[in-house]
Homo-oligomer: A and B are copies of this chain.
């Protein structure tokens, strides 16, 4: 195999393939990234068995072939090369010579026969969405994905669901529910729902380009494939049914005694100050006292206390309610809106956070019982 490419293109493609390298594995072959020419395209491939990536390297093929090279070493070397044209030449013993400027680096590689075949989704439903919108959907819900060691495995992923012309991404961690809705112009050919592992979504977010591009999402019974700009990332789905979050959500939505409109950044920074002092008392409890006079947000510890006045518009009755500060600040950090709506029912019922206009997101946050 002989290929040539620019250093920056090599680094970009390897940085994408890197995302599916296993952090540790009992299968040494998976520490490799495959370079493989297929007709007139050079592919870089990697997999940790749950996530697989196949990305096209922008370059020229002089002689067809393939090789498996230690992924992390290959990436470190590519990054360290001078900003010039790179020639990669692989001999019959799978030894790769990487030439760039006055550098020549040889790496002993392996044949690619033992590398697992990457999964391909041939059937399944498919739709297109803007890459920047889908990245926002992940960014604005990922905080309430349950941690990887949670024993309710299905909560370590997010529900991706198509219903009534809308795509929804939902995460639930036992204390809160986060939902992002997005209308899409092109309607998938059928209803569906799938649970995508949190890790796959986080890695996808990292490979989505900063500019808006078309992201194609294809889903079958076992996998989801995300295709953008010559890169395909495939993720195994979690195969349990997602928690029935609507049973928790719907009763809360039907009863609202108090609705307030509040400046998101003001509430966020007040809550963060209150948490600084609460933390000194090994707590993260913050209290909201909401009335027609405004919101008073407080926290207490032996070392001191915080008292924050926050202007609000209120509709309904006064309420006092306490939260784990982090559960309140997590959604406020990821939302971009200047103002948000907060809906309360009682001091033991969840609070709902929604946009002032439209319904692009919904956060449900459980309170902490006081006294």
Contact = CB atoms under 8 A, between A and B. Distances in A.
Interface of A: 70, 73, 76-77, 80-82, 95, 102-108, 269-270, 272-273, 276-277, 280, 302-311
A273 B80 contact: yes
Given A73-B280, A102-B309, A102-B310, A304 B108 contact: yes
A307 B77 CA distance: 13
A108 B76 contact: no
Nearest to A107: B304
Given A70-B303, A303-B70, A273 B77 contact: yes
A103 B273 contact: yes
Nearest to A265: B82
Given A73-B276, A105-B307, 7 more contacts: A73-B304, A102-B311, A103-B270, A104-B307, A105-B273, A106-B304, A107-B303
Contacts of A272: 80
Contact of A276 (B77, B269, B307, B308): B77
A269 B82 contact: yes
Nearest to A95: B304
B309 A80 contact: no
Contacts of A308: 102-104
A104 to B, nearest CB: 5
Contacts of A95: 304
22 contacts: A73-B276, A73-B277, A73-B280, A77-B276, A77-B277, A80-B276, A81-B273, A102-B270, A102-B308, A102-B310, A102-B311, A103-B270, A103-B306, A103-B307, A103-B309, A104-B307, A105-B306, A106-B307, A107-B304, A108-B302, A108-B303, A108-B304
